C-alpha cells in the first residue's frame, strides 16, 4: 500500500477543497470549523497556574561535557557560548510558560517561533530536554509545551528522522492520556502528530491505521487526527491527497466486519450522536467519523446491514445543524453503491409519524418534539448528498429527487448548504438536457423562485447561483428548441433584476451574470447574430454520456467568468440597470406585462430590500415601455392595494413616480381605476391621486375627467343583494369623483389646475349639491343597507359636495365670497332642496358685492348650461345669472339686449322655477333705470314704519328695505342712506331679539350697498356702530350674534381695514382672550378720533339695561385701561368709575377662569389709581 505513491515529506503544495475518493466519480468532504482547533488555546483552566512554579529546578543546565568545551578553539568557543546562551534562553522561556499570563504567553510563543526559524534543531532539542529533565511538570504546562512544539515543527523545513520518531512517540503517549484539561490536552498532543505529518505523513498514518483496525473502537484523539488530516488544505500535495484518499478507502474496507460487532457499532453510534461542546461547529473527529462511516457502509455488501445501520442513524437526534449535515454525508456516501437501499430508507423515514408531525407543527412542547423538529432538514440534505455522490446513477431518479428536495425545503427550517446546491445544479442540467424546451426551463426555475424571494441572504445567494449556472450552461451549449417561445420569461427577468440590487455582493454578481446569459439566450433565440460567443469554462467536473459537460457550483467558484471572456460581449460590460434595460428591449408585450406584475407582487414583500428593488424595477419598466402597455387598470389597482405595505420612503417615492409616468399615456384608465378604489378614500390612495397629477398637463386632464364623471350623475337603482349593475357603478364613480374633487383641492400638484378650472368646478359642485339633494334618500339607513352604504360616500346629505365647494372658494383666493356665507351661517341653506335656491343666490350676490374677478368667466361657462337638458343645470345657471345682473362686469360678456333675450327664452322653460327666476330677472333695474328713483322714494315711508308697535310688521318693513337696497344695485340709496343708517342703529340695543338681528342685518346691507362716493356721510355712523356690534358678538341670542359678526365684517371692509382675512377667521372661529385682543387692536389703534369714538361708545354701554352687554363693555374698557390708562381716566366720571368697580367686583365670580383673573387684576389697578391724589 505504501509503495503505490512516492512519498513527498517536505511538500507544502496547497490543494483545493478537501475530498476523499470513494470511487472514480465520488468524493467526500468534511466541513470542519477551523476555529475548533484554535479554541483549545483559550480554554485552559487557571486554577493550577501556580501549582508547579517550584516543581523543577530554576538553574539552567547546559548539556555539554566540560571536556568538549575545553577542546574548542577560541572562535569555536564563542560560537558554542552563543548557542548555549540561546538554548538557555529558550529553556528559560519554556520554564516561564507555566506561570505566564495569556498576554505574556503569546509573547513567549512568538519569541520561540522566531528562534525556531533560525535554529529549529536547537529549539527542538531544548524542548525535548525540558520534557526529559522535568517529568513531573503539570498537565497545563505540558499543554503549553505541546503548543510550542507544534509551532516549531510546522516552522521547520526539514524534520530529522530521529526527531520524527521521538516526537511521534511523545505525541502518541500523551494524546490518549486523561488529564484535568480533558480534550484540549489530548488535542494539543494530537496537533503535534498532525504537524509531523507535514514532513512524513506515511509513517504517522501507519501508526493510525494500526490503532484504527484493532477491533476496539478507536480513541477520540485518533479520530481527531484523522479528521484534521482529511480536512486540511495544506498537508498534502494533489498526488499525496489521492494516495491518502485511497488508503482511507482501504481502511474502510478492512473495517466492514466491525459493523457486525455489537459493541463497536453501539460505540460508533454513541460517538456520532453525543453533542459537541460547540454544537454549531463540527469537530474534526466527528466530521471524519461521519465520512468514514459512510465509506464503511459503501463497502458493505449486505443490503440488510446497510439499511439497519442507516435506520438506526436516522432515529437519533436531529437537533444540531452539524449533526444533520453529517448524517446526510453518511447517507450520500452509502448511496454510491446502495442507491436503492438509501432511497428506501429515506422514503420510509419521511413517511413516519414524527416526520409528518415535524412538517406541520411549529410549537414543540417537550424535548421529544425538539428531537424531531429538524428531521425534515436532514432528509433534504440527504437527498442533496445522494444526488452529489451517486451522479452516474441518479438521472432516472432526478425528477423525484427535485420534487422531494423542494417539498422538504418548503417545510423545513434549514439553511441551504453548498453541497446540496452542487447536486441541484447537476440535476437541473440533466433535466434540461433530457427535455430541452422552454416549458421545461420554466418548470425547473419555478422550483427556485421561492428561494430567490427568501428573506435569508444565504438562501437567495445560493439559489441565484444555481439559476445562473443553469442559464450559463444553456447559453454555452444552446440546447433549447428555437421553435418554442419562452414561457413567463418576464418573471425571471424581473426576479434577476431585483436581485441585482441585493445587499449581498455575491448575489448581485451572480444575478448580473445570470441576466447577461439570459440576454444572450434571448438574442440567440430570436436568431440575431451575436458579436462574440462566450467560451465554455476550462475546468469541467463531469461529462455526460454524450460528452456534454455538466457544471456545478464548485466549478463556478473555481473558474469564474474571466474579464477577458466578459469583454468579448458588450453585455458583460454594462451595469445591472443597463443590462435589464437591454433585456427589456427584447421582450414581447406579454413578457413585459409579466415582468411588471412580478415587480408589483414584490411590493408586498416583508423584506425592505425586495420592496426597494421592486419599486426600482417597476419604475424602470414603465419609464422605458409604459407607452406601449395596453391594459393598465389591473396593474394600477394592484399597485394601489400594495402601496399600504410599502413603508420605505424611497421605494414609495419610486412607486408613485411610476404612476406619474404611466399616467402620461393612460390617464383615462387610471382615473377610472382609482375612482373604484377611492371609496372610502385612505391616505395611500390619496398619494396615488397626487402622483397622478404630479405633471401639470396630466393634472389638468385628471380634473377634466373627474368633472366628466361627476356630471354623469345617474340616479341609483334600488338597493339589492345582487352585484352592482353598470348604472350603479357609474353612480358610485360619480360620488367618488365628487369626493376626489374635494380632496385634491388641498394637493399642491393640482393647485394650478384647480385655479384654472375654477369656473367649471364652481358650477359643477353647485350642480352636484343639487343632485345629491335630488336623491332624497331617508336620513337613517335601513339595516339591510348598512353594509352597502358603509362603502360609499353618504348620499343622504350634501356635505361632501358642499365641503368641496367651500374648499374651492377658500383655496383659490375667493375667501371673501366664502366669508359672506360663513359669517351669515348661510351654508345651511344648501342642506335642503327648498332653501337651496336662496343659498346659491346669496353666494352669487357675494361675488357681485366683492367684485369677483371670475364673474365674467363663470358667466361664459354658465350660458351653455341654460340650454342643458338637465333641469338642475338650467336652474343653477338662472339663479346665478339673475344675481350677476347687478354686476357691471355682466355687460362685458352679455350685452343688455342679449341678456333680455336669454331671460325671455327662460320664460318658456319647462321648469316653473326657471320661468319664475327668468321673470324676476326681466324686472331688474338694469333694464329699467327709471325704477331707481321710484324705489328710493319709497324708503322714507318705510323708515317711518320702523316705529310700529307690531314686531312682525317691523321685521317685514326692515326686510323690505333690505330688499329695496339690493334691487337698487349700483344706483344705491343716495341721500336716504344716512336716514336708513340712523334708523337701523337705533334698534341695536332693542330688547327684542328678532328686531336687534334684523336691524343689524339691514345696517350691514346698507354698508354693502354704499359706494365710495356716499361713504363720507356714513363714516361717523359706521364708526359709532363698531363697538355696539363688537359687544353684541357675545349676545345671548345666536341670531343677533351672527348678524353682529357679519355687519362688523362688512363695516371693516367698507373702512378698508388691513388683515381682513385674519379678521374674518377671528370672527368666524376663534374664541378667548387672543381673539378679543385682536378685535380690540383693530378698533383702538387706528386714529385718535376713532379711539375717542369707540371709548365713548363703550362707556355709554356701561349704563345698558342688558347685564350681558354691560359686562362686555366693562371688559372692553378694562382692556383699554391696560394700554391707555391716562386716556381712559380722562374720560371717566365718578358714575362710570363706580360702575366699573361694581362690574369688576361681580366678574370676580364669573364661571370663566380667564375673566375672573382679568377682573381681579383690573379691580386692584383701579383701586390703586383711585387712591392717588388728583393732580
Tell me which of 685 and 792 has the higher pLDDT: 685
Confidence of residue 822 (pLDDT cuts 50, 70, 90): very high
Q: How far apart are CA 497 and CA 511, in angstroms?
A: 7
pLDDT tens track for 944-954: 888 888 889 99
Confidence of residue 460 (pLDDT cuts 50, 70, 90): confident
Measured in whole angstroms, the distance separating CA 801 from the mean position of its chain's CA atoms is 35
Say if strands 20-23 and 26-28 run parallel, antiparallel, or are unpaired.
antiparallel
Measured in whole angstroms, the distance separating CA 673 from the mean position of its chain's CA atoms is 24
Give the contacts of 306 (CB within 8 A, at least 6 positions apart). 297, 300, 334, 338, 341, 342
Give the contacts of 628 (CB within 8 A, at least 6 positions apart). 589, 592
Give counts: helices (H), strands (E), the chain.
61, 4
pLDDT tens track for 759-795: 999 999 999 999 888 876 444 444 434 434 433 444 4
> Are the C-beta atoms of 201 and 232 separated by less than 8 Å?
no
- For residue 27, the cross-strand partners are 21
Place of cell 329695496: 964
Average of per-residue pLDDT across 3-32: 38
Place of cell 536547537: 122
Q: How far apart are CA 208 and CA 670, in angstroms?
A: 78
Report, in this order, helix, strand and coil percent for the chain, each rounded to 5. 70, 0, 25
Helix (H/G/I), strand (E/B), else coil: 65:
coil
Tell me which of 324 and 688 has the higher pLDDT: 688
State the first-to-last Cα distance of the chain, in angstroms, to the nearest integer.
134
Q: How far apart are CA 817 and CA 1049, in angstroms?
A: 12
Give whole-number Cα distances, 724 to 675, 711, 765, 787, 910, in Å: 15, 20, 25, 14, 33
Cα Dmax for the chain:
157
pLDDT tens track for 627-654: 999 889 999 999 988 988 888 899 999 9
Q: How far apart are CA 808 and CA 1077, in angstroms?
A: 31
Q: What is the pLDDT of residue 800?
A: 82
Tell me which of 877 and 1088 has the higher pLDDT: 877
Q: How far apart are CA 365 and CA 352, in angstroms?
A: 19
pTM: 0.62
Tell me which of 406 and 266 has the higher pLDDT: 266
Chain-wide mean pLDDT for the chain?
A: 79
Q: What is the pLDDT of residue 98?
A: 80
Q: How far apart are CA 525 and CA 519, in angstroms?
A: 10
> Are the C-beta atoms of 208 and 73 separated by less than 8 Å?
no
Q: What is the pLDDT of residue 717?
A: 53
Q: What is the pLDDT of residue 424?
A: 67
Q: What is the pLDDT of residue 569?
A: 66
Q: What are the grid coordinates assigned to 15, written together?
A: 490543494
Q: How far apart are CA 660 and CA 80, in angstroms?
A: 89
610-623: buried (b, 16+ CB within 10 Å) or exposed (e) per residue? bbbbbbbbbbbbbe
Average of per-residue pLDDT across 42-46: 40
Q: How far apart are CA 844 and CA 817, in angstroms?
A: 8
Q: What is the pLDDT of residue 639?
A: 92
> Are the C-beta atoms of 373 and 320 separated by less than 8 Å?
no
φ/ψ of 485, rounded to 5, equals -75, 150
Measured in whole angstroms, the distance separating CA 207 from the mean position of its chain's CA atoms is 63
Q: Closest Cα partner for 611 from 651, 556, 576, 572? A: 651
Q: How far apart are CA 940 and CA 925, in angstroms?
A: 20
H/E stretch holding 712: none
Q: How far apart are CA 1060 and CA 1079, in angstroms?
A: 11
Average of per-residue pLDDT across 21-26: 35
Query: ∠ CA(352), CA(353), CA(356), 5° rounding?
Result: 90
Residues in the chain: 1175
Q: How far apart are CA 274 and CA 42, in angstroms?
A: 23
Give whole-number Cα distances, 558 to 230, 331, 424, 555, in Å: 20, 27, 18, 5
Q: What are the grid coordinates assigned to 575, written together?
A: 451595469
Average of per-residue pLDDT across 663-670: 93
Q: What is the pLDDT of residue 609?
A: 87
Average of per-residue pLDDT across 93-113: 82
* Residue 420, pLDDT above cutoff 70: no
φ/ψ of 20, rounded to 5, equals -115, 130
Average of per-residue pLDDT across 875-901: 93
Q: What is the pLDDT of residue 841?
A: 94
- For residue 549, the cross-strand partners are 543
Q: How far apart are CA 412 and CA 406, in angstroms?
A: 10
pLDDT tens track for 843-872: 999 999 999 999 999 999 999 999 999 999
Give the contacts of 926 (CB within 8 A, at least 6 positions apart). 885, 886, 890, 896, 899, 969
Q: What is the 3-state secondary structure (H, E, C) of 245-263?
A: HHHHHHHHHHCHHHHHCHH
> Are the C-beta atoms of 148 and 128 separated by less than 8 Å?
no
Which residue pairs from 403-408 have beta carbons closer than 8 angstroms and sit at least 24 positions apart in sequence? 404/350, 404/379, 405/380, 406/447, 406/450, 408/350, 408/376, 408/377, 408/379, 408/380, 408/383
Tell me which of 533 and 126 has the higher pLDDT: 126
> Are the C-beta atoms of 171 and 189 separated by less than 8 Å?
yes
Q: How far apart are CA 578 and CA 561, in angstroms?
A: 19
Give whole-number Cα distances, 185 to 93, 121, 132, 289, in Å: 20, 25, 19, 21
Q: What is the pLDDT of residue 76?
A: 60
Measured in whole angstroms, the distance separating CA 176 from the mean position of its chain's CA atoms is 58
Confidence of residue 1074 (pLDDT cuts 50, 70, 90): confident
Q: What is the pLDDT of residue 615?
A: 93
Q: What is the pLDDT of residue 864?
A: 93
Ranked by mean pLDDT, the top range of 115-124, 210-219, 281-290, 477-486 is: 210-219
Ranked by mean pLDDT, the top range of 451-460, 529-538, 987-996 is: 987-996
- For residue 98, the cross-strand partners are none
Average of per-residue pLDDT across 113-130: 84
H/E stretch holding 1169: helix 1153-1171
Give whole-number Cα distances, 909 to 695, 867, 901, 912, 915, in Å: 43, 9, 13, 7, 6
Q: What is the pLDDT of residue 669?
A: 93
Tell me which of 444 and 781 has the higher pLDDT: 444
> Are the C-beta atoms of 386 and 426 separated by less than 8 Å?
no
pLDDT tens track for 1116-1157: 888 888 778 777 777 777 787 787 788 888 878 878 787 788
> Are the C-beta atoms of 532 and 592 separated by less than 8 Å?
no
Query: ∠ CA(1023), CA(1029), CA(1032), 5° rounding?
Result: 155
Confidence of residue 380 (pLDDT cuts 50, 70, 90): confident
Measured in whole angstroms, the distance separating CA 43 from the mean position of its chain's CA atoms is 45
> Are the C-beta atoms of 914 and 902 separated by less than 8 Å?
no
Q: What is the pLDDT of residue 100?
A: 75
Give the contacts of 1086 (CB within 8 A, at least 6 positions apart). none
Confidence of residue 72 (pLDDT cuts 50, 70, 90): very low
What is the rounded radius of gyration, in angstroms, for the C-alpha atoms of the chain?
49
Query: ∠ CA(1079), CA(1080), CA(1086), 5° rounding?
Result: 100
Q: How far apart are CA 634 and CA 670, in angstroms?
A: 9
Q: What is the pLDDT of residue 48?
A: 40
Amino acid at each position: 500500500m505504501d509503495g503505490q505513491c512516492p512519498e513527498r515529506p517536505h511538500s507544502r503544495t496547497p490543494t483545493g477543497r478537501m475530498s476523499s475518493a470513494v470511487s472514480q466519480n465520488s468524493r467526500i468532504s468534511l466541513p470542519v470549523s477551523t476555529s475548533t482547533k484554535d479554541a483549545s488555546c483559550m480554554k485552559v483552566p487557571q486554577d493550577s497556574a501556580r501549582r508547579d512554579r517550584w516543581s523543577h529546578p530554576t538553574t539552567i543546565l547546559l548539556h555539554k561535557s566540560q571536556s568538549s568545551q575545553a577542546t574548542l578553539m577560541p572562535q569555536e568557543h564563542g560560537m558554542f557560548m552563543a548557542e548555549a546562551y540561546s538554548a538557555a534562553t529558550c529553556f528559560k522561556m519554556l520554564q516561564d510558560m507555566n506561570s505566564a499570563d495569556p498576554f505574556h504567553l503569546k509573547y513567549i510563543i512568538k519569541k520561540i517561533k522566531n528562534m525556531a526559524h533560525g535554529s529549529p534543531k536547537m529549539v527542538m532539542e531544548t524542548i525535548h530536554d525540558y520534557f526529559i529533565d522535568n517529568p513531573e511538570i503539570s498537565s497545563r504546562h505540558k499543554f503549553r509545551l505541546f503548543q510550542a512544539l507544534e509551532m516549531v515543527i510546522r516552522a521547520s523545513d526539514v524534520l530529522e528522522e530521529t526527531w520524527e520518531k521521538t516526537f511521534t512517540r511523545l505525541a502518541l503517549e500523551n494524546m490518549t492520556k486523561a488529564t484535568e484539561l480533558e480534550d484540549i490536552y489530548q488535542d494539543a498532543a494530537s496537533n503535534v502528530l498532525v504537524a509531523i505529518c507535514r514532513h512524513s505523513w506515511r509513517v504517522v498514518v501507519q501508526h493510525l491505521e494500526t490503532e484504527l483496525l484493532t477491533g476496539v473502537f478507536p480513541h477520540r484523539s485518533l479520530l481527531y487526527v484523522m479528521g484534521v488530516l482529511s480536512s486540511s488544505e495544506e498537508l498534502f500535495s494533489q498526488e499525496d491527497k489521492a494516495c491518502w484518499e485511497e488508503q482511507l478507502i482501504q481502511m474502510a474496507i478492512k473495517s466492514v466486519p466491525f459493523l457486525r460487532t455489537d459493541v463497536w457499532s453501539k460505540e460508533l453510534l454513541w460517538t456520532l450522536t453525543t453533542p459537541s461542546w460547540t454544537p454549531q461547529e463540527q469537530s474534526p473527529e466527528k466530521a471524519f467519523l461521519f465520512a468514514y462511516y459512510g465509506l464503511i457502509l459503501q463497502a458493505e455488501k449486505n443490503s440488510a446491514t446497510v439499511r439497519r445501520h442507516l435506520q438506526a442513524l436516522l432515529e437519533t437526534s436531529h437537533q444540531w445543524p452539524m449533526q444533520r449535515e453529517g448524517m446526510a454525508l453518511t447517507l450520500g456516501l452509502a448511496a454510491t453503491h446502495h442507491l436503492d437501499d438509501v432511497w428506501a430508507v429515506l422514503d420510509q423515514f419521511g413517511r413516519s409519524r414524527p416526520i409528518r408531525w415535524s412538517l406541520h407543527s411549529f410549537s414543540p412542547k417537550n424535548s421529544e418534539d425538539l428531537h424531531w423538529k429538524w428531521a425534515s432538514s436532514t432528509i433534504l440534505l440527504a437527498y442533496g448528498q445522494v444526488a452529489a455522490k451517486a451522479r452516474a446513477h441518479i438521472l432516472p431518479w432526478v425528477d423525484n429527487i427535485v420534487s422531494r428536495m423542494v417539498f422538504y425545503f418548503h417545510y423545513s427550517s434549514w439553511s441551504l448548504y453548498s453541497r446540496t446546491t452542487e447536486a441541484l445544479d447537476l440535476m437541473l442540467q440533466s433535466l434540461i438536457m433530457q427535455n430541452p424546451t422552454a416549458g421545461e426551463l420554466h418548470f425547473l426555475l419555478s422550483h427556485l423562485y421561492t428561494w430567490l424571494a427568501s428573506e435569508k441572504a444565504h438562501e437567495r445567494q445560493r439559489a441565484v447561483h444555481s439559476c445562473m449556472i443553469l442559464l450559463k450552461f444553456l447559453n454555452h451549449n444552446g440546447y433549447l428548441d428555437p421553435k418554442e417561445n419562452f414561457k413567463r420569461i418576464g418573471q425571471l427577468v424581473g426576479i434577476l433584476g431585483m436581485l441585482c440590487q441585493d445587499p449581498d455582493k455575491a448575489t448581485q454578481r451572480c444575478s448580473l451574470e445570470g441576466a447577461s446569459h439570459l440576454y444572450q439566450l434571448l438574442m440567440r433565440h430570436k436568431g440575431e447574430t451575436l458579436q462574440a460567443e462566450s467560451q465554455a469554462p476550462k475546468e469541467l467536473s463531469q461529462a455526460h454520456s454524450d460528452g456534454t459537460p455538466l457544471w456545478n457550483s464548485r466549478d463556478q467558484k473555481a473558474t469564474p467568468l474571466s474579464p477577458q471572456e466578459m469583454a468579448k460581449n458588450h453585455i458583460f460590460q454594462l451595469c445591472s440597470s443597463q443590462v435589464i434595460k437591454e433585456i427589456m428591449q427584447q421582450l414581447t408585450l406579454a413578457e413585459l406585462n409579466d415582468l411588471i406584475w412580478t415587480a408589483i407582487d414584490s411590493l408586498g414583500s416583508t423584506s425592505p430590500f425586495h420592496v426597494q428593488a421592486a419599486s426600482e424595477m417597476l419604475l424602470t419598466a414603465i419609464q422605458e415601455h409604459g407607452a406601449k402597455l395596453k391594459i393598465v387598470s389591473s396593474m394600477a389597482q394592484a399597485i394601489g392595494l400594495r402601496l399600504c405595505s410599502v413603508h420605505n420612503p424611497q421605494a414609495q417615492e419610486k412607486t408613485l413616480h411610476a404612476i406619474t409616468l404611466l399616467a402620461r399615456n393612460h390617464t383615462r384608465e387610471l382615473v377610472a381605476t382609482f375612482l373604484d378604489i377611492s371609496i372610502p378614500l385612505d391616505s395611500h390612495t390619496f398619494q396615488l391621486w397626487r402622483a397622478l397629477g404630479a405633471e401639470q398637463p396630466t393634472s389638468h386632464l385628471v380634473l377634466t375627467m373627474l368633472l366628466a364623471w361627476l356630471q354623469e350623475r345617474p340616479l341609483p337603482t334600488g338597493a339589492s343583494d345582487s352585484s352592482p349593475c353598470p348604472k350603479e357603478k357609474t353612480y358610485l364613480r360619480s360620488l367618488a369623483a365628487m369626493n376626489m374633487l374635494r380632496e385634491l383641492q388641498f394637493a399642491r400638484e393640482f393647485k394650478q389646475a384647480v385655479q384654472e378650472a375654477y369656473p367649471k368646478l364652481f358650477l359643477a359642485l353647485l350642480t352636484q349639491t343639487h343632485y345629491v339633494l335630488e336623491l332624497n334618500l331617508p336620513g337613517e339607513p335601513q339595516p339591510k343597507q348598512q353594509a352597502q352604504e358603509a362603502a360609499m360616500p353618504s348620499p343622504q346629505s350634501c356635505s361632501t359636495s358642499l365641503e368641496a365647494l367651500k374648499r374651492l372658494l377658500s383655496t383659490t383666493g375667493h375667501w371673501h365670497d366664502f366669508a359672506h356665507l360663513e359669517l351669515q351661517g348661510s351654508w345651511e341653506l344648501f342642506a335642503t332642496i327648498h332653501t337651496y335656491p336662496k343659498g346659491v343666490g346669496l353666494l352669487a350676490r357675494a361675488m357681485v358685492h366683492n367684485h369677483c374677478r371670475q364673474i365674467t368667466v363663470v358667466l361664459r361657462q354658465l350660458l351653455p348650461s341654460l340650454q342643458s337638458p338637465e333641469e338642475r343645470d338650467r336652474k343653477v345657471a338662472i339663479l346665478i345669472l339673475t344675481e350677476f345682473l347687478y354686476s357691471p362686469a355682466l355687460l362685458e360678456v352679455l350685452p343688455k339686449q342679449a341678456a333680455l333675450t336669454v331671460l325671455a327664452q327662460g320664460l318658456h322653460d319647462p321648469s316653473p322655477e326657471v320661468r319664475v327666476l327668468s321673470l324676476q330677472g326681466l324686472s331688474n333695474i338694469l333694464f329699467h333705470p327709471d325704477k331707481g328713483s321710484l324705489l328710493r322714494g319709497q324708503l322714507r315711508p318705510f323708515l317711518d314704519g320702523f316705529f310700529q308697535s307690531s314686531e312682525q310688521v317691523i321685521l317685514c318693513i326692515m326686510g323690505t328695505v333690505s330688499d329695496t337696497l339690493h334691487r337698487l344695485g349700483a344706483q344705491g340709496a343716495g341721500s336716504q342712506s344716512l336716514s336708513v343708517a340712523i334708523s337701523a342703529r337705533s334698534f341695536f340695543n332693542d330688547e327684542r331679539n328678532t328686531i336687534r338681528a334684523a336691524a343689524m342685518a339691514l345696517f350691514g346691507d346698507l354698508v354693502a350697498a354704499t359706494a365710495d362716493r356716499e361713504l363720507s356721510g356714513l363714516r361717523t355712523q359706521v364708526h359709532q356702530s363698531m363697538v355696539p356690534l363688537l359687544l353684541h358678538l357675545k349676545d345671548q341670542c345666536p341670531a343677533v350674534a351672527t348678524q353682529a359678526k357679519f355687519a362688523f365684517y362688512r363695516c371693516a371692509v367698507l373702512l378698508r381695514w388691513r388683515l381682513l382675512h385674519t379678521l374674518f377667521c377671528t370672527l368666524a372661529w376663534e374664541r378667548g382672550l387672543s381673539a378679543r385682543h385682536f378685535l380690540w387692536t383693530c378698533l383702538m389703534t387706528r386714529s385718535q378720533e376713532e379711539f375717542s369714538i369707540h371709548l365713548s361708545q363703550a362707556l355709554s354701554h356701561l349704563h345698558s339695561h342688558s347685564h350681558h352687554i354691560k359686562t362686555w363693555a366693562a371688559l372692553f374698557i378694562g382692556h383699554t385701561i391696560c394700554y391707555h390708562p391716562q386716556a381712559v381716566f380722562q374720560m371717566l366720571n365718578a358714575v362710570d368709575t363706580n360702575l366699573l368697580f361694581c362690574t369688576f367686583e361681580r366678574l370676580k365670580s364669573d364661571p370663566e377662569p380667564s375673566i375672573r383673573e382679568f377682573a381681579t387684576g383690573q379691580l386692584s389697578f383701579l383701586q390703586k389709581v383711585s387712591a392717588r391724589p388728583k393732580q
